[in-house]
A and B are shown apart, each in its own frame.
Chain A
Amino acid sequence: MNLTLKVWRQKNSQTPGKFVTYKAEEISPDMSFLEMLDVVNEKLVKTQEDPIQFDHDCREGICGMCSLMINGEPHGPKRATTTCQLHMRSFNDGETIVIEPWRAAAFPVVKDLAVDRGAFDRIQQAGGYVSVGTGGVPDANEILIPKTIADEAFNSATCIGCGACVAACKNASAMLFVSAKVSQYAMLPQGQTERYERAKAMVSQMDDEGFGSCTNTYACEAQCPKEIKVTNIARMNREYFNAEFIKG
């Protein structure tokens, strides 16, 4: 396959960026999107040019490190797929592909396509944890949890924190991420101790980071590579209003 790439190049968060066009030639349709970028970068290195910076780690679709807005869609055109699991067979030979970083005030560009998602870490640190006893090792399954609840909590916990929800949202809102993190603990017995403080602290941190508000367009759900549901957002709202008006 031969492709034309329009890639966002930006030296750092202080310098304005611009699109630069590259040719990606002799690409195998079985390569992942990141491997295609690796090929382009190898060529750039050979010609003494600055390679394109992009985030990646496990390349197995579970770490949440890869990102990229590909032709206006977070993680590209394929549903429920991270960029690292997106293969070039999803594109046509000769196609022009526009590659941009996540765009959000809360996610400043580090370099090129890599953005700083530290805001998510700070939201998580604000309340995304549970207190545990530090005595002896507890027996497995000591606390019984109904299967349906365990499944639901696990569904929320599959959020890998990649930020595609923020990227997809027209308001750059982080509500899907935050709500998944609030939900995964709110449903489980282990999460009850900090339940209401957690909702308040995480929402407050989310606001401080400068994310937009949710207007329920549900673009986040459609674009989430882990198919996190917007019912999590409704749950977070319940948790928050309960915390503020009733339990707080």
Chain B
Amino acid sequence: MKAERILFYRLRHFWSLMPLFIFLMMAHLSSAQTAVIPLKVTVIVKPPVSSVFSEYGDLSNKVIITVMNPNPTVAYNRVMLHGSLKRTSDEYITTLDNYAPAQLLTINPLETKVFTADPVQLRFLRQEVVRSSFPELLTDVLKNNELPEGNWELCVQAMAVDLDGIVYQASDESCFPLNITHAAPPVITSPFNGQTVPSLQPNIIFSWTPPAGNVIGAQVVYDLYAVKVMPGQSPNDAIDAAVGYKANNPMVKTTLFTNQYVTQPYDLKLDTGTTYAVQVIARDLNKKVAFQNNGRSEVTVFNYGSPAVTAMMLTTQVTPPGQIYPVLNYDPVPVSEVKGKLVYRFKTASGVTGATVGNQSPNLNVSAPTHLPGQPVPDQMKYNQELLSTTGAKPLANTKISLVLTYVLDGKIENETYSGQVIKEGSLYNTQSYFKDMDKVISTTTTDADGNFTFNFMNVQNEIGLINDKLDLTTGGGEFKKTAIGKLYKVYRIRVENNYYCSSDMNIKVEPWKGVDVGTLVSLVKSYNLKVRVTWTKSPYWDSYKGKGTYLSGVPTYILRKSKPQNAPPDEGEVKTANVVYFRGPNHSSEKITDIQGYAIFHNLIQHDPNNFSDRYYINCKPDKMAGDVIFDPKEKSYYPLWDKDKNYFPFNSIGEYVPSSGFKIPIQFGSSIVWNSELVVETYTDSVGVQPGRPRITGKVEVAKSAGARPLSDVGVVSINGYKNNNDPSKLFTVVKTDKDGRYEFNNLDVETEGFKLGETSKVIGPTRTIVTKPEGFKGGSLPANPPMAPMLWGEQKVNMDFSLEPDGWINGYVEDENGNAVESDVDIDGFIKVTTKAELAGVSSGRGNIQFTTRQAFRTAVPSGDKRKIIIQPLDAGYFSKDTTINIKVSDGKQLPLIKFIVYKAQKRIRFQVLEKNSSGRLNLPGASKPVQELQ
């Protein structure tokens, strides 16, 4: 709108001055009477077209402007040039209306002036003399000194100044199109984004495209940056820092005049196996051309060579387990990749851990094609398959594993059948000479937190798989020879380098330049079961309960560790239920109870490291003071061979050795050398714990008889009346204990009277006999056993259920009614001992004249402890009554003939208070004795 107004103003001004203009022309010209024709202006912009705004401040040598006066007689005096840079008809930057150059021109009739290098006339678009249709546009252009990209026009118009100093348009506008674009930065073409450049190549060739767009007149040079990209780093960030301040020591080549650079021997060396980010930056030395993104190309990356033989894989595609995929490397070394996941579980017949029993199936494929005459013998081995179930298995994390070369036999060695088992060192004589590289470690790695692993290795085995279909090998000689026959296979296997675990029997076959995802491998824990038998000690001294050496049933037995080896499975032991664990490592234990044979069996215990003496379990037995009939001192026993000679009969997980302390000092080996899952047999070891009998013990409880509420009686004295044979010490005749808050009493460490001590013989128990009595106040007394006295208790004998159930010695009969004689059903609490509820019964009441009226009442009759001031609480069941507390004396009685005691309870009533006033009077009316039925007040 603003622009339109200006234009309108100019046009209106122009036409309004026309008569004056004509008059002046006429005054100056003597003969011509023709109309004055405006000047004709044309403009041509010489290439290159610059996007730099200041370039238009002085158009000398950049434009060709012609101004022609077509009038044959009329001259134009005081003429000057104005101009505009227009993006659209709305958006432009134009010369200020009041601008005038230092010198004005005269264009004579029919004269044509050409302006190409006239700094006086061609500076009408310099910063100081322009305005814009939108002030923001000029601000933006001046800030950047760049015209925004787009289709612009350079327009020029001749202006003239009249005698009054008024500026008017002397010509139409002449415009020349300007395509203002910022040159596109280079595009890197070599190495292309993501390329792997072989490190064998002695040089790297960097190429890029020249910048596209308006670069004519520019002198473009390039800067090349290549910098390492650290793992996890953004290539753009790496380059930004490298360009900005040479971070991470980039390779920099500046001011390159061609769009290619070939690295030379003296350039900074690039590290193999590293990712590099590259950027090329175009610059115009003439500073005339603006580039998009400051001339900086897109950042590309390339990998330089492969890091090492052990990690040179370039293909990391996701493949289903068992599938073979190609593995490429740029160094011509035969490589392969084996990846998968390793899990572990226990092999246990009880199924406590691991849902299936880990019986190893043969590795041989029975359904393989049969051998046809003239054809190669078919390879019947199953490759790259795990034969064990993974149910219940957990990842074997952070564990070192090795890829090893093994020989597998389908046949026999001597009389031992091999159905896909590994030939081990020692199974034949001089095995290494017959089986090259047997058990050789090809590669080693460590599983991650999820058990995943990847082996990258040089695969130089020319033959993998069936290598001899008719093996008939005799090793050794003379008397010492062993023969192997059958089919011989050479395969890779993955060995767990941790003696607490076996290794999978999976046979792995992979050809050079191939990879295989073997899926999930199962490692069985080298475990065993321990059967512990608890017996009395065989010491002859004790006249023990049930006899010397007896198996003790019902004995709580548990196993614990005091320290746990670092590499051992974390979840040893077994789970009884979801929450109860029988045994799980140090300080986590729960007992098992010995069975009738005295046994407690523990599963999933871990075989022990022969070189770690602290890797051992401890068996603990403790008496159960609430159950069982034996008492003994708690016993802890280390489960570990006491003598070197016993080490061969102990579950060690690997081979150890010891040097005998006497005789020939030749190291003797012990332990197990099993490696593979199929070799694992979970054996059950047995150990016994002899416990020493303790002094007899009697325990039980004192409580109110069930019929009277079965309430425990606390702080009640219980007396053992002891009858000695030979001891007349009166202090020993009675032993007194008191019941605890639960009514329990205990006679611990009871005395044992024996015959005289005889070396090597059992000292027979002869006393004392015992009678246990108690007589709490308010109760009838009790004594145990039923037929006293109790026979002398033997060493280790425990009686745990010597319980008294005592009847109260008093009685109470009563009934409950309200003040109106209505029976009220109630709960009755007698001194906290007994709680009864009244029952309805008919009662006959004499009404005189021999008549008996029958009525119903709520009565109770119960035995209660005798005593003074027994507290009676009557609690009516109807909430409309208050409860009632009272005390009465209860005498010793069998009770049934005692009279009934009446207990009266009162209704829980409410009161209403009201006043009677005279109608229509404000005064109080004193009407004593006035009454009103309650119903009417409602």
Partners in one complex: no
Report A's interface with B, CB cutoff 8 A.
Answer: none
